Chains A and B, each alone.
Chain A
């Protein structure tokens, strides 16, 4: 094409890179791609949306607020902070079979587990079983590093200290008699939390590891006695503790309490009357918080989630509408050389 010129040493390299002639894909927002693309995306979203909605419809959820704000509510008596070891009982009815497996959550509202200082207030090394940090917890645990007697708190920090400590007993009322529904508390935390992140010191008995330390101020029992029924479920790898320590992202949250998977209730909670006995320990009313229990079952996509399905439907429809608008605009103003 060009006559060969004298090549000289200063001549820049004639490569595609240096001459900015690299082969390149130059996409352009042509109507042929965009409009069908929008239609396809729209249809796909609508499809997913419908599937999500249908799935979501089939999920059963039951929420029971037991804070006891209302004077008529059974737990109102427990809202008085002077009463200790208060128990209250809430009865409810299930109209049709609550299909299993049923998950039993407790929920808190207006509770700021996501507050920065709250979230930072723990000692990861201590919780991974490092005994050095038992005697001198990290400063992050402030203000729950040591108690008034200058003894180290284990587990230290705000999160641990504020662990949720209401407990529940669910019974089915069969002809006036209570049949306790067995609750399964195993495996309700993340596998990695239970197996990797939190470790007890390798000292047996576990109690000895805690020599010289004190329990968190709010706790009724020390960490090594969290579960009296199952010695393996104590210390830092207690399931309830793990669930609590995985702090929530938002001020209204719920946490898994138990699963109902055993015995007669493996297929779900049959229709009937139930009673929930609550050991009411955890005060929330001082900051206008709410406590509730939630029963729910799940599908492939988890729990009930109407928003997702609706959002998909809306976005999908908008895409389709946009594609029609674009088609009209395009037909009116298209490039003259299109043919």
Chain B
């Protein structure tokens, strides 16, 4: 860790078996150290790090100030105790973290590997491996360092590796040694090998390596293909030898594990600003009091010298004022309590644990729980406005299933009746013992065709079983396991397997298959591999009869161009099929073959090997060689693969968009696929007024398209405006009004009315948009039912500096945005763009390595731990396994976290101002002498003992509404987005309340006690009595206040609130007891004061009076606010309470839920016809368009109805619902069948009854019921969240409920 940094390497020279030579360069050894400290350095280094925190340094500074006797207004321990506590908590956390790092480092460093030393293999620890050593690896071993593969047990120096730990991809990859070393099997040859490698310096690019091997005066080019990287596992290879090139910290694995960018939440930033302000405030108060002191000393103090002489060095009033300033800085420092930062961290940690513990975010299929990988971002989850989602693996499962195919102009796999019951799944076991039992296909005609021996069909599946790069593993006879490079390939090979063409095993030269029960071995002449320019792959095989044939599969656009002219007719039919498939959202491939004569092969083989050997332009030459032979092929047919949508995606998107979260899909897929997925997951709907497609190739055309789109949107909104005047009804109105010219122009800026409907939103929209340009301001307001689809190449133009504003304003005016064919970098750029222009919280969610950029640049990155490995997860802040968990993460955990954090901060600032400002007021009565009001022990303990736990409990456990409510009323999320619960205004309110409290706490005792006496005649106005009275009143007032603020009294809250009060009295009485005084007479000056004081009824009357004056106005204000301007959460909470009170059996919920969920099931079944994709998208995704699918938009759900925002307040809604003469609930009640379905939910309103039941029902359930058609019922499930629903649709709902029963 602390080794001296050598000058940056320009290039690396490594000579095999020559440690002496290599040591000259001082390359890092293979010992890795991810830990930060060791036992000796821990304390200094950790303290040094901690004091880099501004807050800690500040407190250290205070501590030093306190050691100066003229300044010290407090005992040193009042600062050092909290500071030590904070430092030690952090230190313990750091130490634990580091301990685990040490353990894992040790474990890794002590792994064994076989190193070739002086002609023999020796067992060495990993940490002792040096650059230039030759290592032997055996099957299933981890690679110890970045190695140059020299030779392997397999022919041609091939070996197979799994890179899961490196990039998370679980498929196998092939590596090959340089030909010249590939035959080194013998240890003697190896140990005499003295080749020298010159290569690039260490870097973190996993897929690139450039180097040259010099051996025996010859040069050999080295590429990534020759490298085995640390972290990989050797598979399917008996053993191999490698030369260590990079070791330890220089390996690509370690180079990649750099620290991720430290993310801060907006609350963090706000908090820092506020803390700065408070510092300013502190200084101001210090200055005021110092001035006061100067005046006082001059006017009064100088005369009072008879009893209090000025002593050098403080012998004039200016000096005194100067010292007084610092003294006041010390005693007023508690306005920024040191415990603030620690408490915030503790709360966030608690919230993170709640996320980790949430069963409803646990995927039982993959046995993965959600994980908060960062503990510092939780409350920002409650403020997200933009979600950027990857498509493959995130919205879709990335599970490919062979769905349809077209063979020789005949299509298979079409369902006869798309709405009828599913046909029987084909049973392959009778026909083929090697079949994969998980494979499902429904068209038996295809199986018949295979059985009768249709030659085209056979050739079709033969192609699928031969033309691929899948590896097979046969654990026992017939138990085949395919390891495919992409799930598409796996699906195709599995399909061939089930239809009787079983790929069994491959060697570099042969492919063995079982064709209709007969084992056939083809000799493999060449693989013309896939890349994203070619978009096709071919194999050339010789069958046992000696015939040579080329099999090719690839994107239809590419492949159809290369067909023999005789295929014209078949091509037309197949193209039609392909179009149909694409329109159904399937990923398509075309298949073809070509017979080659022996001469053809010889000739091509020659040119191929020439191309292979060439050193310059090798890629190009190979490509042209491939191009040369892949001509005049015969079309066989086409395949269609379904890319399955993840469970619950449409619902999640619907709920999120209801919560006013804008979802952008950024995908590498092509436009049609992306649009189709957009429809199937309900981002796009047929109710949308317009879907703009930006696909211009030039700057000019992109700009023009963007402008047109905006113009059109403007027109549309003006049209709506006109209609509205005529009294437009229904969702349109609702939608429009929230877009709110009308409400917005009132300009009442009702920002605090967040939940009360659209009002809050508009106010803020207006305010916020004032920052951006005028046009974007306007576009913000339009925000209508439009969608934007933009292509990667257009996006590149749109992201240019001069157009980005235009792009942002257009895109943000749309409800849904889909960017297709974007590169990983563009994904990140889009995120950055929004971050830059919208000042909104962004969240990026993805699962693959291509999403890492985006995940890292968004405020919050979420990784889906799914099919594509763990790279995204490693880069993410949160991870879980299903997209649908996002709604729970945001709407439940995020919302709660935000709420709790805001309440915590409000209260925290309040309590500290109430506590500290008393000193300020007292200053005016004690000659500004920095005399504290309280006992020093009280000051020490106030923040860390007396008031810390109740507010922590509130910060961790508080809930305003239960989790299921926040999913049902997504509008509850809005206050977070608008940042309503804790902003500068709220902060000032808290501060004001705190100052008010401090005023009361000082002046009430002042007024009462100054003349009061005990009943024994002893005056009560002595300092200690005053201190005890004020402190007790303070503790009681802030405890009552936290009791008011706590909305959710769990057992912890009770224990902490009552416990804190109890602790206060216990500790105070203990510290004032005679016993303690006798032990430390010099420390406890307050002996007996609590007993003396608290026995006096006047004192208690004073405390009661102060409490009442502090709390009564708050109570009254809150009650009136609740009545006059209830927040949505208040309303929800209230209705919940009412419902709990009047629980009575009613039957609606179950039935209604049933209706809702069945439609969900239906939807998936039907929605599947939309999914589109393009095989190999997994690997590439930037192919030419395959075909333009005709987007038959299934007119499905009236998404718009629930997506529309609320036009009126919730009270209004509830009232309206209640007054609806025939709410569905009554229908429910009348049905006995329903009442047994649903538990006991009273028919308060449509919404509550429908939703009430889901309280006990996790979301998973929603999708697994049998499909029964009804779209309107779907509407019901969501319509409850939309009060804007007109009575007409309600009638429809009613009808549905009747049907369902």
Contacts and interface: CB of A to CB of B under 8 A. Distances in A.
A45 B1105 CA distance: 9
A13 B1018 contact: no
Nearest to B357: A18
Interface of B: 69, 73, 300-301, 303-304, 306-309, 311, 327, 353-354, 356-360, 362, 364, 367-369, 896, 925-927, 929-931, 957, 959, 963, 1004, 1006-1027, 1047-1053, 1074, 1077-1078, 1081-1082, 1085, 1087-1089, 1091-1092, 1096-1098, 1101-1102, 1105, 1108-1109, 1112, 1115-1116, 1118-1120, 1122-1124, 1126, 1131, 1133-1135, 1137-1138, 1211, 1214-1215, 1218, 1244-1245, 1256-1258, 1260-1261
Contacts of A19: 357-360
Given A112-B927, A246-B1024, 12 more contacts: A18-B358, A24-B1049, A114-B926, A115-B929, A253-B1010, A287-B306, A298-B1016, A298-B1017, A300-B1097, A301-B1098, A302-B1013, A325-B1116
B369 A302 contact: no
Contacts of A247: 1022-1023
Contacts of B1134: 28, 30, 335
Of the listed residues A20, A38, A301, the one surrounded by the most CB atoms of chain B closer than 10 A to its CB is: A20
Nearest to B1239: A1
A157 to B, nearest CB: 11
10 contacts: A12-B357, A12-B369, A45-B1108, A48-B1101, A119-B1023, A143-B311, A193-B1088, A254-B1019, A337-B1245, A338-B1138
Given A116-B929, A259-B1017, A158 B300 contact: no
A197 B686 CA distance: 86
Interface string A19-38: 11011111111110010001
A337 B1215 CA distance: 7
B304 A304 contact: no
A221 to B, nearest CB: 19
B396 to A, nearest CB: 23
Interface string A40-65: 01000100100010000000000000
A296 interface: yes
Contact of A116 (B930, B959, B1256): B930
Contacts of A22: 957, 1050-1052
A158 B311 CA distance: 12
B1023 A114 contact: yes
Nearest to B1125: A333
A222 interface: no
B933 to A, nearest CB: 9
B48 to A, nearest CB: 34
B945 to A, nearest CB: 24
A196 B1115 contact: no
A249 B1022 contact: yes
A150 interface: no
Interface string A72-106: 00000000000000000000000000000101010
Given A41-B1112, A311-B1105, A337-B1135, A11 B1098 contact: no
Contact of B1015 (A115, A251, A299): A299
A187 B1017 CA distance: 10
A324 B960 CA distance: 28
Contacts of A338: 1138
B1019 A25 contact: no
Contact of A298 (B1013, B1027, B1092): B1013
Contacts of B353: 18
Contact of B1244 (A161, A250, A252, A337): A337
A22 B1049 CA distance: 9
A286 interface: yes
B306 A302 contact: no
Of the listed residues B1009, B1052, B1091, B1133, the one surrounded by the most CB atoms of chain A closer than 10 A to its CB is: B1009
Contacts of B929: 112, 114-118
Nearest to A336: B1215
A252 B1010 contact: yes
A281 interface: no
Interface string A214-226: 0000000000000
Contact of A312 (B364, B1105, B1120): B1105
B368 A10 contact: yes
Of the listed residues A27, A162, A302, the one surrounded by the most CB atoms of chain B closer than 10 A to its CB is: A302
B1092 A190 contact: yes
Contacts of B306: 162, 283, 286-287
Interface in A284-311: 286-288, 296, 298-305, 307-308, 311
B1088 A196 contact: yes
A303 B1011 contact: yes
A59 to B, nearest CB: 10
Nearest to B1017: A103
A34 B359 contact: no
B1124 A253 contact: no
Contacts of A52: 1101
B1021 A248 contact: yes
A301 B357 contact: no
A256 interface: yes
Of the listed residues B1011, B1026, B1120, the one surrounded by the most CB atoms of chain A closer than 10 A to its CB is: B1011
Of the listed residues B1010, B1052, B1138, B1256, the one surrounded by the most CB atoms of chain A closer than 10 A to its CB is: B1010
B1022 A248 contact: yes
Interface stretch (A124-132, A168-176, A230-238): A124-132
B1047 A27 contact: yes
A45 B73 CA distance: 39
Contacts of A114: 925-927, 929, 931, 1023
A146 interface: no
Interface stretch (A200-208, A262-270, A271-279, A315-323): A315-323
Interface in A130-185: 130, 139, 142-143, 158, 161-162
A302 B1009 CA distance: 10
Contacts of A304: 1011
Contacts of B1218: 336-337
A111 to B, nearest CB: 8
Contacts of A337: 1135, 1138, 1214, 1218, 1244-1245
Given A110-B300, A118-B308, A326-B1116, A10 B367 contact: yes
Contacts of A142: 311
B77 to A, nearest CB: 16
B99 to A, nearest CB: 24
Contact of A192 (B896, B931, B1015, B1091): B1091
B1122 A29 contact: yes
Contacts of B1023: 113-114, 119, 246-249
B1008 A308 contact: yes
